[in-house]
Chain A
Amino acid sequence: MGREVSESCIDSLLTEMVSTYCNRFYATKPELAARRIEAIGYQVGHQLSERYTMERPRFSDHLEAIKFICKDFWSEVFKKQIDNLKTNHRGTFVLQDNRFRWLARMSVDPPTENGGLPQDPSALAENEATQLMSMYLYFPCGIIRGALSNLGISCAVSADISSLPACSFVIRIKA
């Protein structure tokens, strides 16, 4: 087993990175903040896939590489595997994590069912939380894209949080 740090370290770092880019650098340009956060994830994913594929045979097709992301790669990063993998067999893969760790531990609470009618202040806060969360998700999307790109697969990755605390990552492989 390699070196470890407390999970608070990575949580604090990611929260602060997102807030630096979204609130301080590009407060009025969310699309630029998103691109930077994705780029940071991309570099991390690129480097991690280099490390985690050491001592294993080369993948012979896309599916094998995607399965590697779902199993070994996800386990290294999140200590669990992806719960569900779907594909349309035309280059789109959906990776669902039933309880995505980084969202579960985020300091902003996900919108909960508090039964009430959507009241203005809470709806606003909810909206803000969702927005921050989607910013945050550019990081793992970048990680996946970076990892696959280093394995020779260029793709676009997006995240779907319509059924929290589950999170789905949609990978579209470029022809």
Chain B
Amino acid sequence: MAPVGPRSGDAIFASGERVNAELFTLTYGAIVRQLLTDLEEVDEVNKQLDQMGYNIGIRLVDEFLAKSNVSRCVDFKETTDVIAKVGFKMFLGVSASVTNWDADGTCCSIMLDDNPLVDFVELPDTCQGLYYCNILSGVIRGALEMVSMKADVTWARDMLRGDDAFELQVKLIKQVPEEYPYKDDE
């Protein structure tokens, strides 16, 4: 019997296949370092990481919807909440929360309590402009786009750059009206 109703991020994380986080953390680190060698420009690396995340995000949505059993969220507020509370937990095993809503409900912050990507990482002086975790902002951007929400996702605070928290700012640009994917006659 399929479970009824949405499942918590904790439950999905606990029941799914998991791997050693070190492998993931070190692999991501090695990719960033290799991109820096190949692309040379820090800005270009930021862009590539975001692009890689975007591609991952658009693919992860299906797995997310299937495993979490959440019904399609209608508004931006609900969607960001689900991403923070269920998405982060079920993939990275960490919790995140949403704060700093603006008055018209189109801009908010996702705060990460913990971030497995940055274990062991210290940015060298030559990489001060690097948004090391830019893959995460790309993932969120890609995932939102798949549920018809175009958004800008940027790092407002980054502990690797000396800030006191990891804070992603998510700004809704436009919500594309949902099109029904099925056609009656072909």
Contact = CB atoms under 8 A, between A and B. Distances in A.
Tell me, yes or no, whether A and B come into direct contact in the complex with CB atoms closer than 8 A.
Answer: yes
Interface stretch (A5-13, A59-67, A124-132): A5-13
Main secondary structure on A side of the interface with B? helix
Main secondary structure on B side of the interface with A? helix
B34 interface: yes
A4 B20 contact: yes
Chain B interface residue count: which class? 20 to 34
A3 B48 contact: no
B65 interface: no
Contacts of A12: 56, 59-60
A47 B52 CA distance: 24
A36 interface: yes
A133 interface: no
Contacts of A39: 34
B116 A13 contact: no
A99 to B, nearest CB: 14
Interface residues of A, number: 29
Interface of B: 13, 16-24, 26-31, 33-34, 38, 48, 51-52, 55-56, 59-60, 63, 90-93, 116, 119, 135
Interface of A: 2-10, 12-14, 16-17, 19-20, 25, 36, 39-41, 43-44, 47-48, 51, 76-77, 79
